[in-house]
Structure formats: C-alpha cells, structure tokens
Amino acid sequence: MRRVVVTGMGMVTPLGNDPAQVFQEVLDGRSGVVRMHAFDAVGDLGTRIGAPVRAFEPERIPRKHRRSMSRMAQYAANAAADALKGAAFPMDTLASGRVAVCAGSTTGSPDAMEEFWREYIGSNSIRAIPSTSFLRVMSHTVASHLALAFGITGSVVSPSCACAASNQAVGLGADLIRLGRADVVLAGGADELSVLSAATFDVVRAGCRGHEDAPHTRPAPFDRTRDGVVCGEGAAIVVLEELEGARARGAPILAEILGYGESCDATHMSSPEADGMVSAIERALADAKLTPADIDYVCAHATGTTVGDAAEAEATHRIFGGDVPVSSLKGHLGHMLAACGCAELILCIEAMRRGIVPPTLNLSDADVAPLHLPRVPLERDIRRVVSNNFAFGGINASLVVGRPPAGAD
C-alpha cells in the first residue's frame, strides 16, 4: 500500500488565511465570532452571531472562472492556489490525469439558492435567473470549479456529508493515492456563511442563541454553559501526494496521513451516539496500525451542543481515557461546516510542527466525561494526532495524521 503525505496547505478562515498565522491566533486566544447584523432582518431567528471570513481576495481568481463561482468555490480556489504554491507543485502537470480533486461542501451555495428561489417565486418566471445559477447551487460546485480553475483532468469526487465532508475528502483522497488511482489529490472542503445555514441549526434547536453583546464568548465546547453551534465559513485544501513521488520531486513533506475511519450511527438524524464515534476512531487507528497509546493529541469535533459534546467526550474517554490532551477549535473559528475537518487537520499539522497543543476557547467548567482538556497552550512532543468530525445523519469520520516520515524534510 502506497504511503500518503501532505505537501501543501491552504485555508481561508475567520482568523485569516495563512496556516501559521491562524495557529498563532488560536494560541493567542483570538475568536473569529462576531455579531451578524444581517441576521436581525430575519423573523423568529434566535441566532445573531457567526464567524465570517476575515479577509478575502476574489480577484486572485481569473474572471472567466470567477463569474460562475459561488463564494464557497472562490474560497476553495484561493485555498487551493496557496496549497499548490506551498507544495511547490509543477502546475504544468495538473492536466496529466494523475492529479485528482476530492473536495466537498454541505450543499451548493445557499446564497445562490436563495437568489434563485426569490426570483422564481416572486415573479413566477425564470426570465431574470442568471445562467450560472445551477453552477453555483449544484452539490459538486466546489470540486468541479477547482478542477476547471486548475485544469485538473483526473478523478473529481465531492463528498457532501456536512460537518464530516472535508475529513471524508482527505480520507477518500488518500485512498485514491493508496490504490494507485491518483498520484496527487487536492483534498478538502468549503462552505459559506448564510442566514439559511444558521437557521438550519436554529430550527432544530442546535444553534447558539443570544450573546450578541459578547459574541467572542461562544461557542463553548465541553463547557457547562454550552448552548449551541455558531456557524462559520471558509475553505481548507491540502495537497496529498504519494510519498516516493513527493520525495523524487523534492517536495516539502509536512505530515503523513496514517489512517482513516468512518461509520454511521444509524440511530437518529440529528442526535449523535457515542458508539458510532467509537467505531470510526477505532477503524482509523486500525487503518494506521496504531493503538490509542500511540496518539499524543485528539482534535475534537465538539461544536458546543449539549448532547453532541457529551457523546463525543464519552466516546473519546472510552478509547483514550483521561491522559491524552483533547481540545476543540470551534471556539476560535466557529463551525466552518464542510471546511472544518480539513481546517482542523491543517492546524493539527501546525501543532505537530511546533509541539504545542492548542486549548479550547471559552472552556472554564467542563461537565462531560473526564478528559484532559488544557485551558492554555500545552507544550508537548506531538508525533501523531487523531482528528474527528461528526455530522447530522450520524456520519462519523476520523483521521490519523503523523509527523513526516524519517528522512523527509
């Protein structure tokens, strides 16, 4: 089985767009959550805060590609460009057929959907609907636009399992390389912050309500006061390569994808179960041929919901006990939805490179199963990390990532 390494990373987030800078913002205790005044116009919506992208340069994308892109596709294209640049990847080989795209989103662009239906229902006509509407609302809009923007002619795969999507994308992308179906994969995910996204969580009573005067205090993963998800947005893309090919071209090798596991609770659409989470983590560890004792840090999904955080803490404790450091990055970034898994993977790689476990923001009084939940940055020799993401539908995805193989730069 061929080994898979990460050679480039790119991200667009509520705390900035450079992985090293975003990680430093996390260590400094910064939050990307702000008051969303645009949400005030929506009747009966309890959510009034969110985590929008801080800075973004759409003009980096040629207009011929940008005109059919939603914001989420534009975020992904910028992240992919940075990842390819960081990997020093030869752009003239992207059309070789041996490069693939595996990138997901929760749905197509919710803003484009709203635009479409407002026009159609308001006029009962399609006269004013832009010809690019479907290209922005189709479920594979992120993956297909990445392929078009970079001239990639290999496989294009688009997982759309919401919060688990980009973890799945990395795992599936690694499998494409392992099985010899590709040598290089652009993997990750993207989503855009929309009132419709926030409303989805609000309707099922999973969204954070109130806190307009102190948005930076939410969400509060694992904390006794936690009261729901805060939606964010952005994109995260990594360049995955087969190890020997990366070495042959002198690529910077940042980390190795050691294992991937997934499962489905098959019990409830929106209430998570610890058993399913345990299965996904155990499968990832088995794929990596590792035991829980081999893991130095667990990056939790933990979105700040009462039930979800408790189930995840129980699952994590059942596998790792209370000694391995565990933290969630949602307090800093909000919930970046389909982008969260790959964004967290990138920050896990930064954690390994620096030897620092990031803390959980807004956690002061945990009321979950006893875990080692550092409140401040923790210096630690981090060799291997488990990064987890869990989605509505009972979808569970777990990645195991390790430091670069011996002999890698």
407 assigned to some structural domain: no
Domain assignment of residue 409, yes or no: no
134 in the same domain as 242: yes
Tell me the two tokens of residue 184: 């290089």
What pLDDT digit, counting tens, does each position of 292-313 carry? 999 999 999 999 999 999 999 9
What tens digit of pLDDT does each residue of 230-254 get?
999 999 999 999 999 999 999 999 9
Judge whether 144 lies within some domain.
yes
Query: For the chain, what is the domain count?
Result: 2
229 and 369 belong to one structural domain: no
Per the residue annotation, which of 140, 211, 301, 332 is the catalytic one? 301
Residue 268 is among the residues annotated as catalytic for this protein: no
Question: From CA 219, how far away is CA 221, in angstroms rounded?
Answer: 6
Same domain? 282 vs 235: no
Q: What is the pLDDT of residues 119-171, one digit of tens each?
A: 888 888 888 888 888 899 999 999 999 999 999 999 999 999 999 999 999 99
Q: Which domain holds residue 39?
A: 4-248
Q: Per the confidence metrics, is the pTM higher than 0.75?
A: yes
Give the 3-state secondary structure of residue 407. coil
The catalytically annotated residue of 161, 163, 340, 342 is 163
Residues 190 and 137 in one domain: yes
Are 147 and 220 part of one and the same domain? yes
The CA-based diameter of the chain, rounded to the nearest angstrom, is 64
Has 335 been annotated as catalytic? yes
In a domain, 194, yes or no: yes
Using CA atoms, how far residue 226 sits from 35, 137, 284, 325, in Å, is: 18, 33, 29, 20
Instruction: Please tell me which residue in 332, 335, 340, 372 is annotated as part of the active site.
Output: 335
In a domain, 195, yes or no: yes
Same domain? For 229 and 342 the reply is: no
Active site residue 317: no
Together in a domain, 275 and 238: no
Domain boundary among 248, 268, 283: 248
238 with 322, same domain: the answer is no
Same domain for 146 and 25, yes or no, is: yes
CATH of the domain at 57: 3.40.47.10
